[in-house]
Structure 1
Amino acid sequence: NCPVNAILMRYGNAAQKKQWLTPLAQGDMLGVFCLTEPHVGSDASSLRTTAVKEGDAYVINGVKQFITSGKNGHAAVVIAVTDKGAGKKGMSAFMVPTSAPGYVVARLEDKLGQHSSDTAQINFDNCRIPADNLIGAEGEGYKIALGALEGGRIGIAAQSVGMARSAFEFALGYAKERQSFGTAIFNHQAVGFRLADCATRLEAARQLIWHAATLRDAGLPCLKEAAMAKLFASEMAEEVCSAAIQTLGGYGYVSDFPVERIYRDVRVCQIYEGTSDVQKIIIQRAL
């Protein structure tokens, strides 16, 4: 929902905000962000999905991959090529209702984690939408997509911290109750220091997120800060969840306890909205 809302808030016209943003913000609709394609992950400038203007409509054709809420969502922002010879400046953004003819859910992915959220491959087969569904102007799609990802990365960082904190708190509670060698395992330095490291890394990630979010709320550039927050928080989260499993021992590895699920859920945070490698490229370029 967040990338779609952010795009409409910044680039949508009054009619689009009334039609789409209001129900999205109220929770009556679920947004879908369609950028990634089967052959295009990190290189968003190489899209093949096209949108051809025909009279008072655009006709969209192509395939989008790994689309969150692609099946259960209601309103999709689709980034497509409108001018094949213009490179990044030939991409445009469109609002597409998922009920539109030609919006086809081709496949649902069987994932390691995050099973409560569907991830789909979407085929656009002569999907015709009104020309009024163009967001901003033609040629602004790449800029619109990158702007949404900047804010989205802060959100993924926060998601990472939330999941890691849940696993940490469960492990901490377990460590203070579980007895070994006549005392709670928390009192054994190996376990206590492990959890101390987790608490420190969680707090460091939170501060990176607050800093990036403060800049974005103020309308200031935060591309580097958002990338730093996502990079650190997502990698920290996997490490903290792994430490939580280790603290529970065998119980951490079975589904009777939540930490194994959280570990599976958090792993994708290093992948979507830009991989860790992409975040490092962004940070490097900003130095």
Structure 2
Amino acid sequence: MSQPNGFTESEERLALRAAVADLAGRYGSGYFTARARAGEKTTELWAEVAKHGYLGVAVPEEFGGGGGGIGDLAAVCEELAAAGCPLLLMVVSPAICATVINRYGTAAQRQRWLPGFAAGTTKMAFAITEPDAGSNAHRLATTIRRDGVDWVLSGQKVFISAVDEVEAVLVVARHVDASGQRLQPSLMIVPTGAPGFSYHSIEMDILSPEKQFTLFFDDVRLPADALVGSEDAGLAQLFAGLNPERIMAASFSTGVARHALAKATDYARTRAVWDAPIGAHQGLAHPLAHCAVQVELARLMTQKAAALYDAGQDKAAGEAANMAKYAAGEACAATVDQAIQVHGGNGMTSEYGLGAMLAASRVARIAPVSREMILNFVAAHTLRLPKSY
């Protein structure tokens, strides 16, 4: 798919947005919330989005995808969230995992996995966070070591999304050499049914069909071809997945913010207390207008990050992706908070569906990287200030 030109998205991208918005609008927040409250998955929505090829827009055409870039996939993610159907697994499976396998996988790995990503029939989780290594990826304790021609994986991961829905997990582990020295991070494809691999759900106060899990790897034996890319490529291939993750997380957040803003402005136009719609009063109009500005600025930065990534400018894309993630997270949290305030008591009722968004909007400031760590990154890399850690 064609990429945006300057500050205007291409007609093809805009048509993609319109088509996804139309599809998601037939489901809406009522469908999404009902499924989440019942502890069920949004299987029908995922299947229909996949059937139309929207999950595979960034997969190369030779594997059945749309041949587009991360900007196209981010647009799909945003429009689904804006319609009240934010699919968290989109941030992980077709973005991080498919991107890494496409860029660094062997010919056999690409043929094995990419057609499934393109069709939406393959779901894969991504596991990097550990109990003692959240933002500090240099402290990863999960390891892989060679045993003959096989690999042996040992360790633990935490806060890993949707493991109960996927057939495999792309795991980040440190390679341990024969002397026991821990080397650079490596990426391993681990089937969820592999002996020695277990996982347990984490109780969360977030209303979402996708659950969070702790993973345990008890000497999981994997074949030689489970390794993606080079065993000593280190952070370079890891960030091939983390930059798309930040771009997708930003689009996820701006979509959620747009949904909350639409609810708030609709309510402010119709709710009358002193013989005029409450939206006529600047005490509500100005905060909503401020939210609209924040959201649009975050969307623009996200589009810039996606364009840089799709152009192969990884370093510049990394800086922009972090800024986009920060801006989108702040915009999302502020907009959901203001939407609840506009609704007054109604903002906390199940009928209006905003209260359940409050916890989810806070996640935008925490995951997949906290706003504090992004500010550390900008201070050190953009402003070239001394590192504090």
The match for 2:264 is: 171
* Aligned-CA RMSD value: 1.4
Distance 2:100 2:352 in 1: 38
Higher relative contact order (CA 8 A, sep 6+): 1
The match for 1:34 is: 127
Superimposed CA distance per residue, residues 132-185 of structure 1 (whole angstroms, 9 cap, x where no aligned partner):
111111122433222311121011011110001100001100110111100111
Superimposed CA distance per residue, residues 240-278 of structure 1 (whole angstroms, 9 cap, x where no aligned partner):
100000000000012221211222222112122211111
Give the one of 158, 162, 171 matched to 1:65. Answer: 158
Distance change >3 Å, CA 22–CA 141, structure 1 → 2: farther
Tell me whether 1:274 sits opposite 2:375 in the alignment: no
Contact 1:80 1:93 survives alignment (8 Å): yes
Aligned residue for 2:214, secondary structure, equals: strand
Tell me whether 1:17 sits opposite 2:113 in the alignment: no
Distance change >3 Å, CA 124–CA 102, structure 1 → 2: same
Give the one of 139, 142, 146 matched to 1:46. Answer: 139
The match for 1:79 is: 172
Aligned residue for 2:359, secondary structure, equals: helix
The match for 2:282 is: 189
The match for 2:184 is: 90
Distance 2:253 2:222 in 1: 36
Contact 1:80 1:141 survives alignment (8 Å): no
Distance 1:102 1:269 in 2: 33
Instruction: State percent identity of aligned pairs.
Output: 32
Distance 2:297 2:131 in 1: 35
Q: Which has the higher strand share?
A: 1
Superimposed CA distance per residue, residues 31-66 of structure 1 (whole angstroms, 9 cap, x where no aligned partner):
111111111100011111111111221111111111
Aligned residue for 1:179, secondary structure, equals: coil
- 1:1-287, aligned counterparts within 5 Å? 1=93, 2-83=95-176, 89-105=183-199, 107-220=200-313, 221=315, 222-287=317-382
Distance 1:272 1:74 in 2: 23
Aligned residue for 1:90, secondary structure, equals: strand
Distance 1:274 1:90 in 2: 21
Distance 1:206 1:284 in 2: 22
Distance 2:295 2:181 in 1: 43
> Amino acid of the residue matched to residue 186 of structure 2?
S
Superposition TM-score, scaled by structure 2 size: 0.71
> Amino acid of the residue matched to residue 140 of structure 2?
L
Superimposed CA distance per residue, residues 39-97 of structure 1 (whole angstroms, 9 cap, x where no aligned partner):
1100011111111111221111111111111222212111112126665x432111111
Structure 2 segments unaligned to the other structure (5+ residues): 1-92, 383-389
Deviation at 1:198, TM superposition (A): 1.2
Give runs of ≥4 in structure 1 deviating > 3 Å. 84-87
Distance 1:63 1:72 in 2: 19
Contact 1:212 1:226 survives alignment (8 Å): yes
Distance 2:301 2:186 in 1: 32
Structure 1 residues 49-58 or 139-148, which shifts more? 139-148
Superposition TM-score, scaled by structure 1 size: 0.95
Distance 1:152 1:256 in 2: 32
Aligned residue for 1:282, secondary structure, equals: helix
Aligned residue for 1:183, secondary structure, equals: coil
